[in-house]
Structure 1
Amino acid sequence: MSFEALYAQKRLSAHDAVRVVKNGDAIVVPTGVAEPPTLLKALSDQRREFEGVTVGQILPIQKYDYFDPETSRNVRHLAYFVGGPSRAGAQAGWIDYVPAYFSELPALIEQGLVKSDVVFSMASPMDKHGWFSLSLGPDYTMAAIKKARAVVLEVNPNVPFAAGNCHIHISQVTALTESEDPVLEVGLPKIGPVQEAIGKYVADMIEDGATLQIGYGAIPDAVVMQLTHKKDLGVHTEMIGDGIMTLVEAGVITNRRKNYLPGKMIATFGLGSKKLYQFMDRNPAVEMHPVDFTNDPYLAGQNDKLIAINATMQIDFLGQCGSESQGIKPYSGTGGQADFVRAANRSRGGKAFIVLPSTAKDDTISRIAPTLTPGTHVTTSKNDIDYVVTEYGVAQLRGQSAQHRAKALISIAHPKFRDELTEAAKKMNLL
């Protein structure tokens, strides 16, 4: 049978494609805009016909109707990382949350510790050899495909066909449905003076020839905007976004001086504009790989001068970062922060930056605190922390004593909180 005939045989309506799911199944969905909207809407419409189904995913983008406490016994979201659509449910308890390093999710799936019965994913159109590209999010999805009983694709001509380990053959597909809707675009966050000041401190410490890991957010984008005068930067990251594309177009990112996979930009998911998705399409300089490859600290750390830039919400005097919860309430997730902090620490000449505004809630709360708020989930440990940056400066903590750390962090706190932080440090015998 030809590939085209096999394709036609497996093509179904979204309503019918969803019927491969059985009661009790664990559905795995890729990160972000790689989630298949047509399939997830069809699942939502039929959710009351199922019992005990879970949908596991990092960073959901849209709030589908199955995000519903009244039908959570039918179809229940399982968050590998909490996002906007899942946050309220995770905090209320009707959405489950799985703590895990992003890099280890494929292994957890392979070992059966995280279930994968069915995979739903966006995919590019099939090429003449019968292959689809899961370019927008191979992440843990490639591992899930190996374990799953059924794989269902939403084939869309707006999904780029990218290079890398992100392909699935028509012979591996159980069912597919088609859509032509534009891939969801995620705009750049607003950059204010605080973010710009933090970005400048970081950008000034990035040398020519460095390799970048840049996440999503106003501060990382503020860093990118101030790198236009740099030369021969490289990319080994988990997310490829518009900021990276802009630096490529400006001739700043060439990947020529990377030690590991020179000439290639490496990422595990794409998140940005239509222009970015077009940039990824059949671009030989872009490779999309599973997250256990991109985020492996040993592999990423083979690049000299690896720069990791990640944000946190709160940091204590020892350098423990609470980046994923507000006290006991989950807010986001571990993601790849710890992966890349460790990778940068392994890298010769590498630097791991944890960035945060000095205050929250209109300058009423200091994000630098003597101790983390009780119940806060620690994301980056005191043993891994390197550079901490606020709009007031840079504190280098790795290899430093607890006393030095407290003093350095107080020096980059908001001035209105420095006296009370100093008094707290004295009571803790840190000053």
Structure 2
Amino acid sequence: MSIPSTLNITTAADAVELVKSGDRVFIQGTAMTPTELVDALCDRYQELKNVEFIHIHTEGVAKYAEAPYNESFQTNSCFVGGNVRKNVNSRSGGYIPVFLSEIHLLFRRNILPLDVALIQVSPPDKHGYCSLGTSVDIALPAVQTAKKVIAQINPQVPRTHGDGIIHVSEIDQAIMVDRPIMLHEERPMTMVEKKIGYFVSSLIENGATLQMGIGNIPNAVLLNLNNHQRLGVHTEMFSDGLLPLIERGIVTGEEKKIKTGKIVTCFAVGSQKLYDFVDDNPFVDFKEAAFTNDTALIRANPKVTAINSAIEIDLTGQICADTIGKYQFSGVGGQMDFMRGATLSEGGKAIIAMPSITNKGISKITSFLQPGAGVTTTRAHVHHVVTEYGVVDLFGKNLLQRAKALISIAHPDHRERLEKEAAERFGL
């Protein structure tokens, strides 16, 4: 591997010397989390003060969110993962409610100017360009606006097509690592998830443009699309579930209007097979989140079918997808971007798919959202709701009609109680 002489290769400890007390530091997320650089920076916790980390979901152990490091480093997360959840819900961390489509504005408009960006990239090509790999999302605007960029160069980073490329001249310090990027392992699919996947798949038409997340419910949906044709993908992220449909020629993108014939995404998380698939593959176009999650671009595609989930939904259709009561569990993300884009698309469908109950048997369809719960998606934006008990469409229904529809797909153990609470709520 030939490294341009203009690139300053050093150790992780020396590279992070660029970070000073009081700096705001961006961390690239998901599978591309630059763990070696982050850990090296954490090793300086005794000499640094008031360093702020800003990021979306990151993988691996977040040392900076734990004692004693959190005395010197503060988390300001735009999307909360399990590794920072406890910190974000304490006095030493914070969460910024923001659409994924708008995070770039925090950097580009100097609302939250970045002093340093920590990233992981592929080795440079013969022209000196590195790839941001599987996480272009908000990493690209972070690199373009940060005063200093520190990169770990990893030959196992996929070289992805699209906009996620930076020149070595934009990198101030670099280190060399050689390890697989973060993998996401799938868990066994439950019968409930299979039923939900079947119901959701019944709503998807030939020629539809899909948006889906990661997890067993999206994968269960995709398992039921083997007889579909001419599907397209315009999504903020995708995972392994799409690969069989691509291999069978079901996902072609030929009817899409935005980037016809290509999968459009801003990040990907999954297995090594997925990363091998996106490596040097022009079929997959990685864009920043400001593009993938732009409602105007989403709606331009035909039959956009957006599949999202919820922590709970009240009887009027309000969706909470990022908190458990007042406890910040995840983030707003791109749900609203795609829900709105789908409903405005010609023939589009916005779908909320979720089990009827939690693992503890608590109904996810409730009379009222829990105290402190955030409304991720308003009741005016919610159309199709799916559980393992069926599908309802709330569009055009009044509050009482919505309540009756949602109760019909609630878990049978909770329907009688919900009916009584609905009667009391609506004065019947």
TM interval, shorter chain, is over 0.9
Q: Which amino acid aligns with 2:393?
A: Q
Q: Which amino acid aligns with 1:393?
A: G
Tell me how far apart the structure 2 counterparts of residues 97 and 304 of structure 1 sit (CA, whole Å). 35
Residue aligning to 2:124: 126
- Provide Cα deviations, 1:337-366, integer angstroms capped at 9, x if missing partner: 111101101111111111111112432x11
Residue 383 of structure 2 is aligned with which of 373, 382, 386? 386
Tell me how far apart the structure 2 counterparts of residues 265 and 282 of structure 1 sit (CA, whole Å). 14
User: SS of the counterpart of 1:395?
Assistant: strand
Q: Which amino acid aligns with 1:6?
A: T
Tell me how far apart the structure 2 counterparts of residues 320 and 299 of structure 1 sit (CA, whole Å). 25
Q: Which amino acid aligns with 1:422?
A: E
Q: Which amino acid aligns with 2:399?
A: A
Residue aligning to 1:419: 416
- Is residue 2:213 matched to residue 1:215? yes
Q: Shift in Å at residue 37 of structure 1?
A: 1.4
- Is residue 2:167 matched to residue 1:137? no
Tell me how far apart the structure 2 counterparts of residues 13 and 376 of structure 1 sit (CA, whole Å). 45
In structure 2, stretches of 5+ residues that fail to align are none
- Is residue 2:77 matched to residue 1:79? yes
Residue aligning to 1:276: 274
Residue 373 of structure 2 is aligned with which of 376, 399, 416? 376
Work out whether residues 71 and 92 of structure 2, in 8 Å CA contact, stay in contact via their aligned partners in 1. no
Tell me how far apart the structure 2 counterparts of residues 114 and 217 of structure 1 sit (CA, whole Å). 32
Tell me how far apart the structure 2 counterparts of residues 93 and 221 of structure 1 sit (CA, whole Å). 37
Residue aligning to 1:56: 54
Q: Shift in Å at residue 3 of structure 1?
A: 7.3
Tell me how far apart the structure 2 counterparts of residues 135 and 141 of structure 1 sit (CA, whole Å). 10
- Is residue 2:400 matched to residue 1:403? yes
Matches within 5 A, 1:323-362: 323-362=321-360
Tell me how far apart the structure 2 counterparts of residues 312 and 27 of structure 1 sit (CA, whole Å). 31
Q: Which amino acid aligns with 1:301?
A: R
Q: Shift in Å at residue 140 of structure 1?
A: 1.2
Residue aligning to 1:249: 247
- Provide Cα deviations, 1:65-100, integer angstroms capped at 9, x if missing partner: 222243323122221111110111122332211111
Work out whether residues 210 and 232 of structure 2, in 8 Å CA contact, stay in contact via their aligned partners in 1. yes
Residue aligning to 1:232: 230
User: SS of the counterpart of 1:153?
Assistant: strand
Residue 302 of structure 1 is aligned with which of 294, 300, 303? 300
Sort the Cα spacing of 1:167 and 1:358 in 2 relative to 1 into closer, same or farther, 3 A: same
Work out whether residues 30 and 139 of structure 1, in 8 Å CA contact, stay in contact via their aligned partners in 2. no
Residue 40 of structure 1 is aligned with which of 35, 38, 47? 38
Residue aligning to 1:5: 5
Tell me how far apart the structure 1 counterparts of residues 351 and 373 of structure 2 sit (CA, whole Å). 20
Tell me how far apart the structure 2 counterparts of residues 240 and 430 of structure 1 sit (CA, whole Å). 45
Two-structure CA RMSD over aligned residues (Å): 1.4
Tell me how far apart the structure 1 counterparts of residues 128 and 143 of structure 2 sit (CA, whole Å). 17
Q: Shift in Å at residue 231 of structure 1?
A: 1.0
Q: Which amino acid aligns with 1:296?
A: D
Which portions of structure 1, spanning 4 or more consecutive aligned residues, are displaced by more than 3 angstroms?
A: none
Q: Shift in Å at residue 30 of structure 1?
A: 2.0
Q: Which amino acid aligns with 1:34?
A: M
Q: With structure 1 as the length reference, what TM-score do the two structures score?
A: 0.96
Tell me how far apart the structure 1 counterparts of residues 71 and 344 of structure 2 sit (CA, whole Å). 44
Work out whether residues 62 and 85 of structure 1, in 8 Å CA contact, stay in contact via their aligned partners in 2. yes
Sort the Cα spacing of 1:87 and 1:225 in 2 relative to 1 into closer, same or farther, 3 A: same
Tell me how far apart the structure 2 counterparts of residues 149 and 170 of structure 1 sit (CA, whole Å). 15
- Provide Cα deviations, 1:119-169, integer angstroms capped at 9, x if missing partner: 111101101111111122111121112221101111111111111111111
Q: Shift in Å at residue 55 of structure 1?
A: 1.4
Work out whether residues 136 and 269 of structure 1, in 8 Å CA contact, stay in contact via their aligned partners in 2. yes
In structure 1, stretches of 5+ residues that fail to align are none
Tell me how far apart the structure 1 counterparts of residues 73 and 195 of structure 2 sit (CA, whole Å). 44
Tell me how far apart the structure 2 counterparts of residues 73 and 88 of structure 1 sit (CA, whole Å). 15
Work out whether residues 32 and 182 of structure 2, in 8 Å CA contact, stay in contact via their aligned partners in 1. no
Q: With structure 2 as the length reference, what TM-score do the two structures score?
A: 0.97
Tell me how far apart the structure 2 counterparts of residues 138 and 246 of structure 1 sit (CA, whole Å). 24
Residue 256 of structure 2 is aligned with which of 249, 255, 258? 258
User: SS of the counterpart of 2:306?
Assistant: strand
